[in-house]
Structure 1
Amino acid sequence: MSAIRSPLSDGARSVTGEALQGTLIDLIDLSLSAKQLHWNVTGRTFRSVHRQLDEVVDLARRYADATAERAVAIGVNPDGQSSTVARSTHLPGVEVGYIPDEKVIRQTTEVLAGVVTRMRTRMDATEKADPVTQNLIIEIVHDLEEQHWMFQAMV
């Protein structure tokens, strides 16, 4: 039995827990992928892309922590271990070595679009199950869509 008593019904906790776990996986891997690209981007727009990627990393890390803490608050244990992230991620891997800025911009735009799509599905799933979690997901979508727009504008 959990030491944390959930304010949600078992059904609502299950739906919400699944949404939070998927969110956590996406955010952890997004932060890792964006940091890898940040270190290896090259090209004319290096500086602006390098800095924009750090904004994505910061956003993903901040919301990963908020997501995991929300899960614990409703009696769900988050799993952000590297093996779990590697096994469960939907994000494509990042190639090794230097990567031209145009390729980084396109890849980041595509990755953000995929994450936003999954986040919007989770937003819908939590609407009735747990509006508090839905609110967190709405905030995440807001900030991810802003980053997606900024990367699209660089193409």
Structure 2
Amino acid sequence: MAVIESILASADRKVTGEALQQVLADLINLGMLAKQAHWNLTGPRFRSLHVQLDELADLARQHADQVAERAVTVGFNPDGRAATVADQSTLPGLEHGDVEEGAAVEIVIDALFVLIRTLRQAVTDTATSDPISQDLLIGVTAAVEQQHWLFRAQR
């Protein structure tokens, strides 16, 4: 009996894998951006925003792991190497040095907005190719949209 590598047809695996890979690169980058801002944050609201950034980094890491594991499950090798993330992520960057709290909030809001667009495209792309991956991506989208709202409330 032949070993089945994936329940998905080759074309569906490609579409699904590529969608998951783009989301993975952006989630990994979001986690790094949140930690960079967390470490270098300044301002009177330091404590609450410092904690919020840490929570965002944890959320990004958790969802990145789920997305990567889903990719492997459908027969696509995820790539979370630093060079790949730097090349593929569509999120805005963060300069080195102190990050004033207002600037940190705006950078995170912008990054989350870009990620939401990527996630919503991935949800559309996987609608036919793999509804199970689409379901995972819908859940990630809901969590990221909630973070977007929470950071917008910091304005």
TM-score with structure 2 length normalisation?
A: 0.96
| Runs of at least 5 residues in structure 2 that lack an aligned partner in the other structure | none
Matched, 1:90 2:107: no
How many residues get paired? 153
Runs of 4+, deviation exceeding 6 Å: none
State the secondary structure of the residue aligned to 1:154.
coil
State the secondary structure of the residue aligned to 1:96.
coil
Q: Match of 2:123, as an amino acid?
A: M
* Partner deviation per Cα, 1:50-72 (whole Å, 9 max, x = no partner): 11111110111001111111111
CA distance in 2 between partners of 1:130 and 1:20 (Å):
11
Counterpart of 1:134? Answer: 134
| Runs of at least 5 residues in structure 1 that lack an aligned partner in the other structure | none
CA distance in 1 between partners of 2:22 and 2:63 (Å):
13
1:76–1:4 CA distance, 2 compared to 1 (3 A): farther
Alignment of 1:29-68 (within 5 A): 29-68=29-68
Identity of aligned residues (%): 46
* Partner deviation per Cα, 1:76-122 (whole Å, 9 max, x = no partner): 00111011111111112211111110110011111101100110010
Counterpart of 1:99? Answer: 99
Q: Match of 1:137, as an amino acid?
A: L
How much is the aligned-residue C-alpha RMSD, in angstroms? 1.1
